[in-house]
Structures are given as structure tokens and as C-alpha cells.
Amino acid sequence: MPFGLKNAGATYQRAMVNLFHDMIHKDIEVYVDDMIAKSQTEKEHIEVLRRLFLRLREFQLKLNPAKCTFGARSGKLLGFVVSEKGIEVDSDKVKAIREFSLPRTQKEVRGFLGRKHNQGTWDEECQNAFEKVKQYLLNAPVLSPPSPDKPLILYLSVFSNSMGCVLGQHDESGKREKAIYYLSKKFTDYEMRYSPIEKLCCALIWTTRRLRQYMLYHTTWLISKLDPLKYMMESTALNERMARWQILLSEFDIVYVSQKAIKGSTVADFLASRALEDYEPLNFDFPNEELMASNAIGNGIGAVLVSPNGDHYPFTCKLDFDYTNNMAEYEACIMGLQAAIERGIKTLEVYGDSALVIYQLRDEWETRDPKLINYRIIILGLLREFDDITFNYLPRDENQMADALATLASMIKANKEEEMRPIQMSVYEFSASCCNLEEEEKDDNPWYQDILRYVRDRKYPAQASENDKRTREG
């Protein structure tokens, strides 16, 4: 790309995501031209590097050896120090705080405290408080990655014009909490006109959107002064906005816990009171574009059985009854299990792109919706037909075949039961016209004879048309 373009960074980042889409957040992390390969053990690290170098060679990308570091246990990334302990503050970033001198004049004391009419006295108590503030800022809490087997704790505080939250988790001892993420947001003009409970619901929706990568795979304990879940789930009359928020929260496993102590919400209150001025409006679009999607003909579901040899057996079905999105996911799972039972399959690995269905069937999430309890009972009955079966979550981008089958069933007007031949899928590297060229007449001249004749004598070959002769001189 030419130098100086403002969108060069964003374009390059999109290219990196397309090239390493199956490795990002698993084996590597990529931010523009910064690339990190991560692993738990040395043996695993070598395998990750091998896959990374093969991918780089495949797309003809080169690395600068002078900027490469191998076997690093910690390093600087995006202004922070990342290590096995977590995310820490870079010492270079807090150099100004470390070298901050004591206020010596009355004007400096007032400037430090932010109070114009302060008397400007500085005693031993102020000195001790000053040193404690510096020490705390220099040793900020380490942001730790979440543990997969423990629930998350979300402290949510809402003021009249802003909100703040802290996402944490209990450590190994179960007595102390470790911080995972901090967030704050200033409400927009129209959000400030919401009622207090609606502001809390709005803050919760915005938080789940920002922390989706954490909350989607964990049970989250919500600690706040009010219970937004009870208001949205038990209210008899919801407006359009609240109904939309209710659907967006249905994919998360959130449990409300009443706030018993003020100490735990101190940081969340502080973030809410110090919200940034460049506030971010809440995006009302659904994260899943297929959610509540419909067309004039109807909707469908799809499933694919893949044998150990790689043979694909697609199944699709059209749904002609009223259902929710989660009910459709269960219907697709039941259809796939029944197809496997009919073929005598005893060992099965199930992959689905619905986190709610997968984790409910793995008994990691509770099934509370009455409409889904019967589906779960049916699937548990089908599981007795298998000797070994596992359920695994698969991102929607990697489950395109089943999605395509569901779309196919919704777009075709078929009878109640219509069997089609297996679908054959091919990849054409060239257009059909390229394969329809007439065989060239062989002569004793080399392949570049016509080009040489034109360069030397400016004569076109006999088979050249008038369009071919329209060349640009120079």
C-alpha cells in the first residue's frame, strides 16, 4: 500500500485477521504488525511456531530477525507488560509518577489537591497519604486472565450520567478477588433520560457487549444495587427497547447477587464518577444477524455428519411452526442425533455454534427456560443410544456448512418429506471459458514468435482482431 494513507493500519489489520483467523486468540495474537505466539509449555510453543511459520511462508510474508524474540516469558505489548502473572503496568509509563516531587508551595498544594480555596497546609499526615497514593499508582493491580472453572463477578454501578463496572474472579484461595477488566461509560443525552432501572439495564447490555468474550463462557454473578434481570424477565409489559435487551441477555448465564458490602463496589463507583468524555453510544444491533431472521417462505435448520474418512452427509429441514432461536438450535441438534442413530453410529462428536445449547447439554449451564427443558429431556433420551458422545462449541464462522443448509431449507418450497441426492461441492480455480479454448495449431516457431514479430516489424498476427490491434503506443 502507498505510504501516508489513513486507513493503512485498519486495512493491514483486516488482512492479518483473514490470514490467521483460525489461530488468533488460540495460538497467536495480532495487532497490526505486532505478532505474539503464546503457549503453556515449551513443547507446545515449538509446535505453535511451526504452524505460524508455515502460514507465513504460505502467504509469502517475511519477518525481521532483528525484531524477533523467542522464548520470552514476558514482554511489552500495547503499552503494558504481559507475563505469566497477567497484565502489569509498564514502568516507563509511570516514570512521571515515580519522579513526581512533593508540592512545596501553597500554589502547588492547591494544584495537587484540585481545590482552589484550600489553605495549602502540608503536614506529616498529608505526606504519608501522598506516598501511599504514589505507591498505589506505581503498583496497580495486575489484570489476570479468567479461570475456566470459576464464575465471574461483575460489579456494576450507575450514576445519573455515567456508569462503571469491574469484572473479577476469586483466586485459588477463594478469599481474595483478582481484577480482569475495568470499564466506564458516559451516557448519551437520550440515555440520561432513562429511569434508574432502565439505565442499569442499558449499562448491563453495554457491558455484555464489551465483555462478551469473557461472559459467554462463564457464569457471571451480577452485584449491583438493583436487579435488572428481575425487572426484564418478570415484567408483564415491556416496551420495544426493553424487549430487545431481554433477547440480547438470553445468551448469557447471569445470576443476580444482592450487594451486601460497599467495599466491593468502590472501584466501580470510582470508574462511574470518572467516565470519559468521549462517550460511546449503545449499539442496538443484534450480535447475531440470524437472530429472529425470517423470509416469505420460512426458516430451516441444518446438520452435517462427517465420517472419519472425511465424507460429508448433509441434512436439512424446514420448520413450519412458531419457535425461538434457541428452540431452532435444539431442533437442529435433535435432527443430527437422530440421523446418527439411524446409521448405527455409536461414537459421536457434536459441534454447534450455539453456546447456550452446547453448555446446557454439558451441564455447565442451567436450563431455566420452560420451552427448552423438554428439548433437553429428549436429547438426554437420545444420548442413551451412544457409547461415547461429546459436545463442543464451534464459532459460527467455522460452521458455515450447517448454516448454508439451514438457509437452503428456508428458501426451497419442498414437500413434507423430499429426499435429494447428496450435494457435491467443488472449487473452480478458473472460469469455464478458459477450459473451452480451441487447441492451438502447432508449428515450428517458438511461443513468442508473434510478440517478436510485432516488436520488430510492428505487424500483428493473422488471427488478431480489430480490438486486439487497439494498443497504446509508448
pLDDT in tens, 47-61: 888 899 999 888 888
CA distances from 102 to 127, 137, 353, 377 (A): 8, 16, 57, 68
Predicted pLDDT of residue 98: 66
Question: Which residue's C-alpha cell is 482552589?
Answer: 116
Q: One fold for both 152-273 and 299-411?
A: yes
- Asked whether residue 448 carries a pLDDT value surpassing 60, the answer given is yes
Are 111 and 103 contacting, i.e. CB atoms less than 8 angstroms apart?
A: yes
How do residues 343-392 score in pLDDT, each as one tens digit?
888 998 888 888 888 888 888 888 888 888 888 899 989 998 999 999 98
Question: What is the pTM assigned to this prediction?
Answer: 0.43
- Lowest-confidence pick of 64-73, 186-195, 296-305: 296-305
**In this predicted structure, what is the pLDDT of residue 268?**
59
- Boundaries of every domain in the chain: 8-72, 152-273, 299-411
The pLDDT of residue 285 is 45
Average pLDDT over residues 449-469: 76
298-329 pLDDT, tens digit each: 567 788 888 888 777 888 787 777 777 788 88
- Which segment of 63-72, 210-219, 414-423 scores lowest on mean pLDDT? 414-423
Mean pLDDT of 174-179: 79
> Greater confidence, 271 or 433?
271
Check residue 425 and give its pLDDT. 52
pLDDT digits (tens, 9 = 90+) for 94-120: 666 666 666 667 676 666 665 556 565
| Res 270 pLDDT > 60 | no
pLDDT of residue 474: 42
Average pLDDT, rounded, for the chain: 75
Query: What is the dotted CATH code of the domain comprising 299-411?
Result: 3.30.420.10
Q: What pLDDT sits at residue 117?
A: 61
In this structure, is the dihedral angle defined by the CA atoms of residues 164, 167, 173 and 174, taken in order, positive or negative? positive
CATH number 3.40.50.2000 is the correct assignment for the domain at 152-273: no
Under DSSP, the state recorded for 89 is E
Instruction: Output the nine-digit C-alpha cell for 73.
Output: 516469558
Of residues 200 and 446, more confidently modeled? 200
Q: Which CA distances in Å does 359 have to 145, 153, 355?
A: 21, 19, 6
Please give, one letter per residue, the 3-state secondary structure of 350-375: EEECCHHHHHHHCCCCCCCCHHHHHH
Is residue 175 very low, low, confident or very high in pLDDT (cuts 50, 70, 90)?
confident
Percent share of the chain, pLDDT over 90: 1
